[in-house]
Structures are given as C-alpha cells and as structure tokens.
Structure 1
Amino acid sequence: MFYQNKVHLYWLLSCCVTLLLLIIVGGLTRLTDSGLSITNWEIFTGILPPLNQQTWLDYFELYKQIPEYKLINYNMSLSEFKIIFWWEYAHRILARLTVILFIVPMIFFIFNKQIRYQKLILSLIICFLFFLQGFIGWYMVKSGLVKNVDVSHFRLAMHLFTAIIIYSLLFWLLINHQNSYLLIKINKSNLSLMILLLATYMQIIFGAFVSGLDAGLIYQTWPLMNESFIADDINLYSIFSLESLNNHSYVQFYHRILAYLICIIFVFSYFNNRKHKNIPVKYFNYIFLAVLFQIILGISTLLSGLNIYLASLHQIGSILLISTILIAIYRSSNLIDNNGVKD
C-alpha cells in the first residue's frame, strides 16, 4: 500500500516542513519590503548569488530603475540593498529546493509503481500548482516594477493562497500516508469543519490584502477601530462593492469580521460534534488552541504597530489552524481504503 514505508512518510513530512519554511520566509520578505530587490526572473542563472563587487553593483543598478527605489529608497546604500536582496534570494532558493524535494522522489516512486491512482492524481496536481506558483510569483513581482512602489495586493493574495493550497494538499497526503483512498465522506460533523476551513482560507486571503495594502497601519486599536466598532470612513452601503477591496479601512474591517465569524463557526462545530459524537473532543481542543493562538497574535500584531516578528508568527498560526482543521476532518470522514477497511 502506498506510503506505508518510512521513506514515503519522511518525503511528505520534509516537503511540508520545507514549504512551511518557504511560506515563512516569503512572509518576512514581504514584511521587510524585500520582494522587489531582484528584478529579473532567472530560473537557472539566478541560483548563484552575486560573487563579486561588480555583480552586486549590477543587481543594485537594476533595482535603481524601479519606482520603489526612485520614490522611497533613493538614499539606500549598497550594504542596505544587500539585506533586502538576501531575503528575496533566500525565498527563491527555498522555492527551487521545495519543488525539487517534491518532484524528484515523486518521479522515482512513479517509475517504481509505488503511487496508486488517487494519490498519483493528487501528486500531479501538486506538481502543476508548484509550477503555476512560480509564474504567479513573477506575475506578482512584475506589478511592482513599472508604476507602483508595491506589488498588487490581489496578486500577493493569489501567491499566498496558492502556497496555502499546496500545503493543504501535501498535508492531506501526509496524514493519509497509510491510506490509498483520499476522498472525504461528508457527514454532519465534518460539514461544519469544511465550512470552517473555507472561512479560514478566506481569512488568509484578506490577511494578504491587509499586508499588501499595509492596512494594519490605519487602525491600531482593538476591539474598536479608534472609537467605533465600524470605522467612521466605512459606508455600509458600499461594504459589498468590489472597489472596497482597494480601501485600507474596509479591508481591515473585513479581516476583523472574518475573525469573529471563524470563532462563531468553530463554536457551532464544537456543539454540533457534541451532538453527533463523530470526532474525539481532543481534536476540537487542538483547533481551539490554534484559534486562540491566532486571536492573541492578531491583536498583539495590531497593537504593536505591526511588529514583523509577531506578524510572521500570525502567518504561521494560520497554517497551524489549517493543519488542525484538516486533522479533525480526517478523523471525522471515516476514510475507507480500496480494500473496504476503515481507517
């Protein structure tokens, strides 16, 4: 049966850990405003960093051509440029490493017929998403090279969301490493968990909007937005307009409301499970701790004036929350393998 030996287990575990590290470094690259420091998309030649002074000057000269340098960092020295360069460089190298770490063993397992149908399909989907993510990353960076000093927050959200989906699929493979059957059997307990998972995905997207627009700098108070639950510059008649997604106040408000909604959905899921008793309570305890962790980190990040380390932990917390929800869904779905044996 697929993934029964430790080699497969360690392969998936290492992919999840490396991808998690990649997401963390990517978040810090954004938080340190380092994402536009490398203006070329060099798939192969970009593997090596600058090895001499002239190469450093060439990279710096390319950076000087973009709006971010001309309008914001025009006084930046070469030594300061090197700091933001290393963040983006580390992000790109980790991306290459993660893809290689997944694809090379996958090819080996395919040729040795160690991957069964459902997991082969899912593995190929992950492979496609990895390559798509590379194009999305460059598409995002490109938006900050012409007129804007920042990348598009929509493209940033697309880039982060794709990474989160890849992580979710990898993690689903990991926790199903002893099963050859991956489909979820929907029941009354995990339906609410699926809704909770979707709400968390939506929250991550709006978190990317907040980050991309620097919307967390507008109102740094909680639970009120300055002196009101709804900020004074928010018009409720425009709250569902697409244009509101470009407004700092609206985006932060949506992010707050989604956090409250996630808490409500979790409480409903908890009591719904107590009624049907399909999932051991300890798995809801894990979700509760992850939600509580996120609430504390979200509020702390806001009140701290967007401390980058707290913001990074907040991003990690979202992945932890997704992981705990996926584990609970796995335990609730009564997965049956191809031999008809319950997990």
Structure 2
Amino acid sequence: MSSPSSRHVDMAPHHRRLISNWLFVLCFMILGMIAIGGVTRLTGSGLSIMDWQPVSGFIPPLSHAEWERLFALYQTIPQYHLQHEGFGLEGFQRIFWAEWIHRFWGRLMGLVLIVPLIWFSIRGMITRALAIRLFIFFVLGGLQGGIGWFMVASGFRADSTAVEPVRLVLHLSAALILYVAILWTALSIRWPEPQASVASAGMRLTKKLVWCGLALICITIVAGGFTAGTHAGFVYNTFPLMDGHLIPTEYARLTPFWLNLVDNKAAIQFDHRLLATLTVLTIGGILLVGLKAFAPGSRAHNALMLLGWAVLIQYALGITTLLLVVPVWAGTVHQTFAAVLLGVMLFVLHGLRGVASR
C-alpha cells in the first residue's frame, strides 16, 4: 500500500509546485486568521456582531440605519453595559470592524480553497484522492465558522464580558488542526519522497524527541489558550518568579484540583510557563542530538536550525508579552508565532520521514 506522500510522485513537477504553493498560501492565510483573532480578542471586539450570516455577512453595513440596528443589538448584551456603555456609535464601529474583518477573512479563505480546487479538478491536475481530501478541508473550514459562532454565543450570557475559555480553546484548536492538515499535505506534495539515508541511532533518537516536542508544543498552545481566555496573562507580570515565588502560593486553591487547570489564573499561567520551558529544553535536546546526526546543508539539518531560532523567538515573545502586561501587538504576535513554531516543528518531522523508528 502506498503512503500518502508517494501518491503525489506521479504528479508533474510543475503541478506539484503550483498546488503546494497554493496550499502554502492557505497556511499563511490561517496564520493571518489567528493574528486577526488575537487582535479581536485583545480589543474586546469579538462580541460586536450579534448575528451570524455566513453568506450575506460578506457585505458590511452600507447605511446609517443598518449601523444603528447593529449597535442597538450590541447594546442588549452584558459586555456593552459592563465595559462599553456610553461609547457611542463611533466606538462601536471601531470594535465592529475588527470582528467583521475576522469573519470576512474566514470567508475569503473558503473561496481561496474551493475555487482553485474546482479548477484543478476539472483540469485533471490533482488526483481524485487529493481532491476529496481538500474538499474535506473545505467542509472542516465551514465547521470552524460554526465553532466560532458557538464560541461567540457564550459571551452573550448574563454578567459576561467575554467568551468561555473552553470554547475559545476549542476554536483555536480546530484552526490549528486544519492548519496542520493543510501544511502536511502541502509538504507532502512538494517533497513526496523522503530523503534517502542510513538511519543512525542519533537520527532515530532525534525523531523520537521531535514527536515529544510536537506534543509539548500542542499542549503548550492549549494552555496558552486558557491563559488568554481567562486573562491570566494580566497577573503575575514578572519573570521568572511569580509574586516572589517560583510556584505561586495560590496554585492549588480550588477544589477539586482539576479546576485549577482551567479556572485558577495563578495555576493556568504557571502551567503555561512550565510547559513553554519544557518545550524549550526538549527542543534544545533535539538540537544537541540532531545537529550531530544530520549532515550540514541537508534539509533535516537546516530545518533543525530553523526550529532552534523559532523556539527562542517564541519564548522571548512570551516573556515580553508578560512583562509588558499583554499589549495588543505583543499578545497578537505571540499567539500567531505559536502557530509558526508548530509549523516549523511539522516541517522538521516531515523531513525525518525516511528515518525508521527502529
């Protein structure tokens, strides 16, 4: 049975480049979506649009009467009365545009996926199996819009000024799953065959560590989602200590204990810090082993070097965001670069396909 990557070998080289570049563009658009979502969250704009119109929502308000109608809807939810009461139509328009752009970008991504997919399928430039896989991605993208509305709707409940953290994490995780699936497909089309090599013990250990690093990055991103959703980044804005302690004294104040993982700001921030540090140390181990195992100039060696720089940048961004008390620009860049780091780790893993586990 052929592997998913080997199915792309029979595609013409120029078709592989064209289709992989198209999918890479979609990955960059997902990164843009994550960035816009960060701005929306940090500016409190996510609840400004009270209705979900998947098709007609492409068109923004075109009349003063429509602006007044949307503003009147917004005035019915708790966030307006608890945070923005009295800021007027002009203030509403500022937060409205951030959320509208976020939704518009998602719809645009759907078009960027489905229109070329139809064209490539008609021209016979992609296999039936690949066309089905990409159509599934399109459906998942539509479901992601539904998950986004499910998240937003949680912010309309009484005494709420933000969405539920669990739903925020679900929305972010679904976006990253789609990002990983599209990126892996693009990499497999661009490089359908693994590089031939005789697997050494160092190479096999590197691959195992890369899997560990990938798992840690995913868990750290989830922890970061809870940090964002509970606004835990706005407290304990020192590093490396938290209120003078390595482990905050309030870490286990909730019972049962598992509630601390999702509802205790001190524990949530500490867990995110700890996981990020473990990720850095694991990637350090990957570099120590991998850079010796793979020849300089090889794709695996270059990917490992890129991974080292990426994790240092992300760790520095996390500390900067914390010390500056989460300004919009820093929080947005930190959230977006987490997906970049995930993508780099996936690139490393893809380059190690030829290394047998045993």
Within-5 A mapping of 1:124-135: 124-135=135-146
- 1:213 corresponds in structure 2 to 230
Per the TM alignment, residue 235 of structure 1 is displaced from its structure 2 partner at its CA by: 2.3
Please tell me whether the aligned partners of residues 216 and 252 of structure 1 are also in contact (alpha carbons under 8 angstroms).
yes
Per the TM alignment, residue 191 of structure 1 is displaced from its structure 2 partner at its CA by: 2.4
Alignment deviations for residues 170-223 of structure 1 (CA, whole Å, 9 cap, x no partner): 2222222235579xx995432221221121111111111111111011110000
**Structure 1 residue corresponding to 2:274, chosen from 257, 264, 276:** 257
Q: Is 1:40 aligned to residue 57 of structure 2?
A: no
Within-5 A mapping of 1:155-174: 155-174=167-186
- 2:307 corresponds in structure 1 to 287
**Structure 1 residue corresponding to 2:97, chosen from 67, 72, 86:** 86
Please tell me whether the aligned partners of residues 38 and 85 of structure 1 are also in contact (alpha carbons under 8 angstroms).
yes
Q: Which runs of 5+ in 1 are unaligned?
A: 337-343
Residues 20-29 or 60-69, more deviating:
20-29
Normalised TM-score (structure 2): 0.86
Q: Is 1:272 aligned to residue 272 of structure 2?
A: no
Q: Which runs of 5+ in 2 are unaligned?
A: 1-9
Q: 1:3 to 1:26 in 2, by over 3 A?
A: farther
Q: Is 1:316 aligned to residue 336 of structure 2?
A: yes
Letter of the aligned partner of 1:192 in structure 2? L
Letter of the aligned partner of 1:241 in structure 2? W
Letter of the aligned partner of 1:138 in structure 2? W
Residues 268-277 or 82-91, more deviating:
268-277
C-alpha distance in structure 1 between counterparts of 2:275 and 2:205, whole Å: 23
Per the TM alignment, residue 145 of structure 1 is displaced from its structure 2 partner at its CA by: 0.9
- 1:334 corresponds in structure 2 to 354
Q: 1:251 to 1:130 in 2, by over 3 A?
A: same
Q: 1:64 to 1:202 in 2, by over 3 A?
A: same
Within-5 A mapping of 1:1-343: 1-2=10-11, 4=13, 5=15, 6-116=17-127, 119-120=130-131, 122-147=133-158, 148-179=160-191, 187-235=204-252, 241-274=258-291, 276-277=293-294, 280-334=300-354
Letter of the aligned partner of 1:39 in structure 2? M
Q: 1:118 to 1:250 in 2, by over 3 A?
A: farther
**SS of 1:315's equivalent?**
helix
C-alpha distance in structure 2 between counterparts of 1:288 and 1:248, whole Å: 30
Alignment deviations for residues 65-101 of structure 1 (CA, whole Å, 9 cap, x no partner): 1110122211221101000000000000000000111
Letter of the aligned partner of 2:77 in structure 1? I
Normalised TM-score (structure 1): 0.90
Per the TM alignment, residue 15 of structure 1 is displaced from its structure 2 partner at its CA by: 1.3
C-alpha distance in structure 1 between counterparts of 2:115 and 2:268, whole Å: 40
Alignment deviations for residues 121-151 of structure 1 (CA, whole Å, 9 cap, x no partner): 5424422321220111000001001222210
**SS of 1:143's equivalent?**
helix
Q: 1:120 to 1:188 in 2, by over 3 A?
A: farther
Letter of the aligned partner of 2:213 in structure 1? L
Q: 1:276 to 1:14 in 2, by over 3 A?
A: closer
- 2:5 corresponds in structure 1 to none
C-alpha distance in structure 2 between counterparts of 1:313 and 1:145, whole Å: 28
Alignment deviations for residues 37-90 of structure 1 (CA, whole Å, 9 cap, x no partner): 001001122111111111100000000011101222112211010000000000
Please tell me whether the aligned partners of residues 75 and 81 of structure 2 are also in contact (alpha carbons under 8 angstroms).
yes
Letter of the aligned partner of 1:231 in structure 2? P
Letter of the aligned partner of 1:84 in structure 2? I
Residues 12-21 or 298-307, more deviating:
12-21
Per the TM alignment, residue 276 of structure 1 is displaced from its structure 2 partner at its CA by: 4.4
